[in-house]
Structure 1
């Protein structure tokens, strides 16, 4: 009886640790340029992220910056602030993968995977095709 209880307790504890690891990415992150905060959150069984702060949220004319580089003409007039940049990431053994990242500076969407580097650094790798052809940016957790 004690062995069964001990085994059940270990299984429960290990599943709790797994869930905690998967949610470790949740929070606010400062991009590599230091000019934006991206809020990463859990959405059902996946992880998404949206732009929640900009160092310079307005353009030269004093109006909110728009998604002017978007290839879809219908989306060029939407504000960048509040834009969802990260979509549909799933957690697998320390990596958030199979998602996409949108770059409003270029208007392009890339395949993406992310890994934590310690507790306060996030390696964000955007790529085309395979992850060998891409770029990694390091984001810092906002405290």
Structure 2
């Protein structure tokens, strides 16, 4: 009987330890990431029960046409078109949908559109960012800056 009880306790302990071990082993998205084109860096942090991403630097922070800091001039909302790109939230409160994956909306300052999106950690220093318009989807891989 003691042998069977020890076996049952071992199985229960393994079952409870497995999710914790999996959660600890999954790479986290938190930190600063460089876009695939290398034109921007985005800081991802916890917010609420999800993640948020904010532009923290640009390769070319000054607009060559105006000589002033880059602004969100592609935004269709005139009241937002003059906000600086540095500090611009690209996504907020993306919610976890699976281990290492979050889903929500992402803002694209290149065209002023907001799209259904997902963010997936694909390695310790790789992040896959995807967006969709209807059935048309595209994405890019961001790389972690420092660590």
Structure-2 residue corresponding to 1:121: 126
Q: Report the Cα distance in structure 2 between the residues aligned to 1:137 and 1:103, rounded to whole angstroms.
A: 13
> When the two structures are superposed, what TM-score results if normalisation uses the length of structure 1?
0.84
Q: Does 1:57 align with 2:61?
A: yes
Q: What 5-or-longer segments of structure 2 have no aligned partner? A: none
Q: How does 1:91-110 map to 2 (within 5 A)?
A: 91-110=96-115
| Runs of 4+ residues deviating >4 angstroms | 1-6
Give the match's secondary structure for 2:28: helix
Structure-2 residue corresponding to 1:30: 34
Q: Structure 1, residues 72-91: CA drift from partner, whole Å, max 9, x if none?
A: 11001110100000222112
Q: Report the Cα distance in structure 1 between the residues aligned to 2:143 and 2:55, rounded to whole angstroms.
A: 14
Task: Report the number of matched residues.
Answer: 140
Q: Report the Cα distance in structure 1 between the residues aligned to 2:133 and 2:25, rounded to whole angstroms.
A: 30
Q: How does 1:1-143 map to 2 (within 5 A)?
A: 7=12, 11=16, 14-15=19-20, 17-18=22-23, 21=26, 24-60=28-64, 61-130=66-135, 133-143=136-146
Shift of 1:11: 2.1
Shift of 1:6: 7.8
Q: Report the Cα distance in structure 1 between the residues aligned to 2:25 and 2:48, rounded to whole angstroms.
A: 15
Q: Report the Cα distance in structure 2 between the residues aligned to 1:16 and 1:88, rounded to whole angstroms.
A: 25
Shift of 1:35: 1.4
Q: Report the Cα distance in structure 2 between the residues aligned to 1:102 and 1:20, rounded to whole angstroms.
A: 30
Q: Report the Cα distance in structure 2 between the residues aligned to 1:20 and 1:110, rounded to whole angstroms.
A: 30
Give the match's secondary structure for 1:18: helix
> When the two structures are superposed, what TM-score results if normalisation uses the length of structure 2?
0.82
Contact 1:124–1:139 under 8 Å retained in 2: yes
Give the match's secondary structure for 2:120: strand
Shift of 1:17: 3.8
Contact 1:89–1:96 under 8 Å retained in 2: no
